[in-house]
Every structure is written in C-alpha cells, then in structure tokens.
Amino acid sequence: MTTAFAPRLPETSASSATAFGVPSPPAASGFRLSARTVGNCLREARPLVQAMFVLRFVTGALLTSSAAHHRPDAPHLLLGAVAWWAATVSVYVFNGVSDLCEDRANRSTRPLAGGRLTESAARRAVAVTALAGLVLGCASGWRVAEAAAVFLALGYAYSAPSVAAKCRSWSASAVTCAAAGATYFAGVAASGVGLTAEAAVFAVVLSLGVGLIAAVAKDLGSTRGDALAGRRTLAVVRGERSARRFCAAAGVALALAIAAGALWVRQLPLEAAAAVFAVGALCVAGRCLAVHGEGAGPRAPYRAWMVTQYAVHLAALAALAWG
C-alpha cells in the first residue's frame, strides 16, 4: 500500500538527461577522450618548440615593420601566427610518429612512445593541423600560405622515411635551418613590408643557430636509439665529445657574427639581441665542454640553447617596445 502512493520519480534516461542539458555518460566519456587526445598531441609536439616557432614568426614581423616605420595589420599577424602554430604542431607530431621506434629505444616519456597517444590518432592530427595551417595562412596572405607550404614540406622531408633528412647531421642541419628561415620570412610577409637589414641579420644568425647548434645538440644522449635506427648523426659517427665541441664552436662563431651585424646595422633591437646572444653562447659552450656536474648532462647543451633563443627574441622585442 505504501508503494502505491509513493511519489513518482522522474526518469533519468539518456534522452531526458540530454534534454535537461546534462550529457549522457558515453558523450562525456567521448569528450574526455578527445580532450585527452588533443592534449597528448600538443605535448607530443613539444609546447616549448611550438612557442618558439610562433615567437620567431612574431619577431620577424615586428622587427621588419618597426625598421620600416610601418604598423602591421593586427588581424593578419594574428592569423599568421595561429597558422604557423598549427603547421608546427603538424610537423612535430609527424616527427613523433616517424621517431616512434627510436624514442622507445631511448626510453622517451613523450605520449606516443609512452603509449598514451595512438599512432592512428597522431596521424589524423598531422593531417588536420596541416590543413588548418594552410587555410589560416591563406587568410593571412598568399605569401604566408606559400611559406607555410614550404615549412610543411621541409618538416616532412626531415622525418619522412623516404627522405629522412634527420638521419644525417648535414641534412638535418640544412632542413632545420631552412625551416627556421621560412618562419622568419613568413613573419616578414605578414608584416606587409619588405625585408629589412635588421630582420635579415637576426633571421640568418638565429636560423644558423638552429641548424648548427640545435640540430646537433638534440642528438646528444640519443646515440643508442639513433645507431639502432641506422642514423649517421655527428654524435653517432664522431662521438658525443666531438658533437659537443662542434656546438660550442658554432655558438661562439654565431655570437661574433650577430655582433658584427649589430655594429653594421646600428639598431637597438639587434644590439640587445647580440648582447644576450653572446651571454647565451658562453652558456652553451660551457654546457657543451663541461665534464662533470649537472651541466654535463646530455640534454644540457640543448636546454641552454633553447633558453638562449627565448632570451634573444625577448630581448629584441623588449628593445622594440622600449624604442
């Protein structure tokens, strides 16, 4: 009798839950899975590297427009920066897919090697972000889209098994240097004015740094997996000590080059960049030549170069703002 007069509770079926704005458990689970996949793709593409490429793009645009006393179009610049970010994610996720065997041999903790991101999901992310980069690049301007297409081609040439520029230090250096140069050129294109001497010196020296320091230093500590994969990097062929000496010498030479460029151009942003680069080059050389201690770790020279890059770009932008 008591059950007959009990109040009737509302139904909690999937349809009624959706009607009241509460997602059904499968939908919520699918959303969480998609968000986790996107997050793992971004982590696989190395957030610090993504930010560095966007910073190169923006610095190239602002150095050029400032030297030409031209105010860049903010929407075009923003679209171009987002386009470059998407293209960078595509290239680096593709690199993660192609490096899967070596990364596992080197005990990498990145999502693909650790099994947190599936290869099929990563390949879909490569296609989607590449398309987004090209479409947004077109919205920013045809020259930006053309540079994005070149950048994507270089990124895939670096990692694709049929070409695999990453397998040899000279080809890896050439491709990464060209990819960094394409980034600065795209920023110049987004600014709406022609290339200036200040931007040219900055772009050439920092691009060479990517090719001569970063491309070599990143292989330190990975010789086991690289040798198993048949790579002929400088660290594999000549040993890590020779690779460290090469990076140290390249850093000092580039510091002298950007200092000479600053004396020639005589613009505050380039002078600030040259001063910071000199300090960073000494830090990179110290990490490369260290024998004992924390600074002698295999990743220490690459980390020192990454910090140097960020500091140089931020110093140039700070000088622009000050001026």
Condensed to tens digits (0 to 9), the pLDDT of residues 197-206 reads 999 999 999 9
Task: Find out whether 152 and 133 touch, Cβ atoms under 8 Å.
Answer: yes
Nearest Cα to Cα of residue 49 among 306, 291, 223: 306
**Virtual torsion, Cα 82, 194, 265, 56, nearest 10 deg:** 10
Mean pLDDT score across all residues of the chain = 85
Q: Which residues of the chain have pLDDT under 50?
A: 1-24
The model carries a pTM of: 0.84
Q: What is the pLDDT of residue 12?
A: 41
Quote the CA–CA distance of 162 and 112 in Å, as a whole number.
Answer: 21
Q: Which amino acid is at 102?
A: E
Quote the CA–CA distance of 247 and 266 in Å, as a whole number.
Answer: 28
Residue 13 C-alpha from the chain's centroid: 46
Q: What is the pLDDT of residue 21?
A: 46
What lies within 8 Å, CB to CB, of 320 at 6+ separation is 62, 63, 66, 269
Looking up tokens 């500091």 gives 311
Q: What is the pLDDT of residue 15?
A: 40
Query: Over 111-171, what HEC string results?
Result: HHHHCCCCHHHHHHHHHHHHHHHHHHHHHHCHHHHHHHHHHHHHHHHHHCCCCCHHHEHHH
Tokens standing for residue 100: 């899967």
